[in-house]
Structure 1
């Protein structure tokens, strides 16, 4: 049952989400260098936020890793495939060498962020914009329906030690919404019958990304990844689900044929 005050963050959450979605949609549509710049900027900011959480005393190092992170996502696009992964991993390795504690944790999460940023810009060029819109819509639907499902239904927690707000009701509501997105995309693309359940798997990857970022914040003892978005945390707080879903989609694309979309 809904409780007084539990909707207080709804307007801010929807407003910031709508603004970021609008920017993302325009730049995904534009593609090319515009989307590559977006991927690089978001990656760099998330690296900066990650370093700030895990090494709060090393502020200049965090800033430097963020700047280098954004730069290598762009540089890797200009590098032959054989060397691109080495280029994109440099900030993660640099952080491992210079951060005083939690260096392994930083390296693993930084690698995920950088690979997602580099991979998504290449994915847009190779497969077009429709599958990126599918990715974004699955993540948004998972977040929105999970939010309302958890608030309205409540019930048992999914993983209370790591993410105390997530309930099984919200998790399952997100899966149902993602399956519906898959069904819709099947109507105007030549995707196969597996798309709805793949959408559910993508939804779960998004939820795991959210939970993983929550675990980092609890470990670091912080409420938000940064205060970059006034009153609503940082980019990592808003893009954690997209990060998990992106890595899953990019992994699946290595083993599963991604069809050209036809209308």
Structure 2
């Protein structure tokens, strides 16, 4: 990281913007008063950072990205709200991330080490975890919650108020209108569970025994002969001591405002295609 902050002569950094050590602001960028750029942040060119935005140290933001635009929410009254982006994120061309809504949570939060590819969009009041990848044109509606280590394929679209559990995987062009359990893998329009993100779990170092337990629990949870609510007590009895199964059970029992994404009936309770 360079020790000195550099601002291109054709960039506009308004008085009142806060820049850390080693920040690089490229040509035609606009950083508004009230924005904060952490140490080592690089704005390549033509980047807009609105007021109320914090960009964590080490982030690299590519051309035409717009960070902290006002929420696309008719309930917003124009009051001050924020967007907070964590450390070491890669934000590629044309990405948009909006601030929160002043009549709601008031803040959009993005975690560390994110990889947001061209034209991805994060709407108002979202909570996005660490190590999240959103491929090209992947889109989150307002108030979406995304756990850690989630991957959304290109053109995937997530309905507002939806929860996505950590380590979940969504295939390209998936239309997601229901909550996705942790470690779940979904595909399609409308998206349905197609098994578990086994490859993702292996890459994250999940023990083989835990993966085996979760696969058995998954089949029991989504046994189509009974409702999920009826299946949960038996899953808790048999697998409740497994941390990875406990994650899934806690997610289901917490409930959100959306329904759960479930396997397609014709595919049964588990799919063989669970190596996403």
Question: Looking at both structures, which has the greater relative contact order when contacts are Cα pairs under 8 Å and sequence separation is at least 6?
Answer: 1
TM-score by length of 2: 0.26
More strand by share: 2
Larger Rg: 2
TM-score by length of 1: 0.27
More helix by share: 1
